């Protein structure tokens, strides 16, 4: 591993289901891999609706961010992937509860499919406290 980048592993987040790290810390930024709505203890998909799945994605992402000493409030940019753009409003409603003030920059992308049949996946770039 190069000295200029550090792998972050979150024990409270679901284990990676592929060859990737939960996050990588580089120069005061935390690049978080996408989180799908998996239960951290069972690895099973959580939630029947896009809103319920968004809530679990955010909880998982929060665990990754916490492992690096930050919170979701430190997010600089968030990317949301959804399999049904018709669920955009439902996703937004749940998402807004995580970012009640000063929300980060964001992009939402409609995709054909996500791992394990998830409806939602959320990734982020975090500005780490103390740079």
**pLDDT tens-digit profile of 29-58?**
999 999 999 999 999 999 999 999 999 999
- Are 124 and 61 a contacting pair, CB within 8 Å? yes
Pairing outcome for strands 120-127 and 75-82 = antiparallel
Q: How many domains does the chain have?
A: 1
CATH code: domain of residue 114: 3.30.1330.40
- Are 87 and 119 a contacting pair, CB within 8 Å? yes
pLDDT on residue 129: 92
Is residue 1 a part of any domain in this protein?
no
Has residue 2 got a pLDDT over 80? no
Mean of pLDDT values over 64-70:
98
pTM of structure: 0.96
**CA torsion sign, 95 to 74 to 43 to 80?**
positive
- Are 24 and 65 a contacting pair, CB within 8 Å? no
- The residues that bridge with 38 in the sheet, in sequence order, are 45
Is residue 85 a part of any domain in this protein?
yes
Mean of pLDDT values over 14-38:
97
Higher pLDDT, 61 or 130: 61
- Are 110 and 50 a contacting pair, CB within 8 Å? no
- Range(s) of the domain holding residue 70: 6-127
Has residue 1 got a pLDDT over 70? no
**pLDDT tens-digit profile of 83-120?**
999 999 999 999 999 999 999 999 999 999 999 999 99
- Are 60 and 38 a contacting pair, CB within 8 Å? yes
Q: How far is 8 from 114, CA to CA, in rounded Å?
A: 23
Question: Residue 130: pLDDT band by 50, 70, 90 thresholds?
Answer: confident
Encoding tokens for residue 55? 């809530």
């Amino acid at each position: 591993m190069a000295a200029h980048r550090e792998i972050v592993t979150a024990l409270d987040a679901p284990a990676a289901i592929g060859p990737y790290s939960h996050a990588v810390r580089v120069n005061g930024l935390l690049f978080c891999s996408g989180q799908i709505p998996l239960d951290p203890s069972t690895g099973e998909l959580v939630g029947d609706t896009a809103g319920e799945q968004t809530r679990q994605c955010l909880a998982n992402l929060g665990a990754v961010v916490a492992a690096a000493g930050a919170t979701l409030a430190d997010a600089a940019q968030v990317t949301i992937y959804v399999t049904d753009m018709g669920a955009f409003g439902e996703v937004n409603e749940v998402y807004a509860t995580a970012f009640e003030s000063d929300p980060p920059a964001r992009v939402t992308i409609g995709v054909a499919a996500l791992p394990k049949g998830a409806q939602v996946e959320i990734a982020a770039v975090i500005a780490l406290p103390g740079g």
